[in-house]
Amino acid sequence: MAFLSKQTAPTLPPPEKRPRHIGFILDGNGRWAKKRGLPRKLGHREGAKTFKTIARYCRNLNIPYISFYAFSTENWKRPKDEVDALMKLFDQYIDDVREFFDLETKLIFLGDKERFTPELREKMLAVERDTAHFDKMTMMIAINYGGRDEIVHAAKQVAQLAKDGQLDPDTLTEEQFAQYLYTAGVPDVDLLIRPSGELRLSNYMIWQCAYAEFYFTNVLWPDFSPKELDKALIDFAGRGRRFGGV
């Protein structure tokens, strides 16, 4: 008589088959709260807890670069009370990310900081200064970020340099242009993960995701666990990345 063995946990792919840069679109916080009859802001609070858990797990896996889409340039259109709650949460986020100092993680905030209060902006800049020397992992948080806005921002810098005679537009390469993006010096996204069942980029890193592998799941962000990330990593390792080749 044969006995069924206990189901074992899936084996993670070896480091060389893991992505260097994982991007996360933090989606589903509001729906998570609505399903439970809770205010949307409580969903965002739970999502913040998931953010910490996943960031630490990525550090344990030695993923060199991770990025999180927390607040887009379009999110200002949401109801004022929700935006106000998010701003308060971001303020707490910035205090909390100092927890990652023990992980020797560099923190970078992507997006236009000018929209924020001087106090919040200075907090972001202070964290970036205080973690600039860390090299174990780079964690990017996109706040007031939009992919198109980022490209326009870079194009304006390039245009000014050309106008000033410091750059020849005819010799401009993709690699040079990328140095004017918010992610200058960071490799492109290898794996883009979006929970909540939505199947779109929503204006996130549209330049950097040119050859990213997309992983979509119906799990809402507050419920996204390390086990869910394991599934995405296993799926990623099984894909053939040809970058336009054969």
Which residues make up each annotated binding site for Mg(2+)?
A: 27, 213
Residue (of 189, 208, 163) closest to 155 by Cα position: 163
Q: Which long-range contacts (CB under 8 A, 24 or more apart) does 53-60 make?
A: 53/225, 53/226, 54/24, 54/224, 54/226, 54/229, 55/100, 55/105, 55/139, 56/100, 56/103, 57/226, 57/229, 58/22, 58/137, 58/229, 59/100, 59/103, 59/105, 59/136, 59/137
pLDDT in the model for residue 5: 43
pLDDT of residue 79: 85
Average pLDDT over residues 176-185: 97
Amino acid 8: pLDDT: 53
Name the pTM for this structure.
0.90
| Crossing angle (nearest 10°) for helices 80-96 and 118-131 | 30
Task: Give the pLDDT score at 153.
Answer: 96
Annotated binding-site members: 27-32, 40, 44, 72-74, 76, 78, 194, 200-202, 213
76: its two tokens: 């200002």
- What is the reported pLDDT for 184? 96
pLDDT of residue 6: 47
Instruction: Name the token pair of 232.
Output: 């995405």
What's the pLDDT band for 241 if we cut at 50, 70, 90? low
Per-residue pLDDT of 3-58, as tens digits, reads: 444 455 568 999 999 999 999 999 988 899 999 999 888 888 899 999 999 999 99
**Taking residues 147-162, what's their average pLDDT?**
97
For the cut 90, the answer to whether the pLDDT of residue 176 exceeds it is yes
pLDDT exceeds cutoff 80 at 242: no
Residue 245, pLDDT score: 54
Catalytic positions, written as ranges: 27, 75
In 3D space, the residue among 48, 150, 63, 65 whose CA is nearest the CA of residue 106 turns out to be: 65
pLDDT at 246: 46
Q: Confirm if 132 and 99 have CB atoms less than 8 A apart.
A: no
199-240 pLDDT, tens digit each:
999 999 999 999 999 999 999 999 999 999 999 999 999 987
Distance CA 114, CA 95 (A): 19
pLDDT score recorded for residue 92:
81
Rounded Cα distance between 243 and 232, Å, is: 20
Q: Which domains does the chain have, with CATH numbers?
A: 17-236 (3.40.1180.10)
* Binding site as annotated, residues for substrate: 28-32, 40, 44, 72-74, 76, 78, 194, 200-202
pLDDT tens by residue, 63-113: 999 999 988 888 888 888 888 888 888 888 788 777 778 889 999 999 999
Percent of the chain with pLDDT over 70: 93
Calculate what percentage of the chain has a pLDDT beyond 90.
72
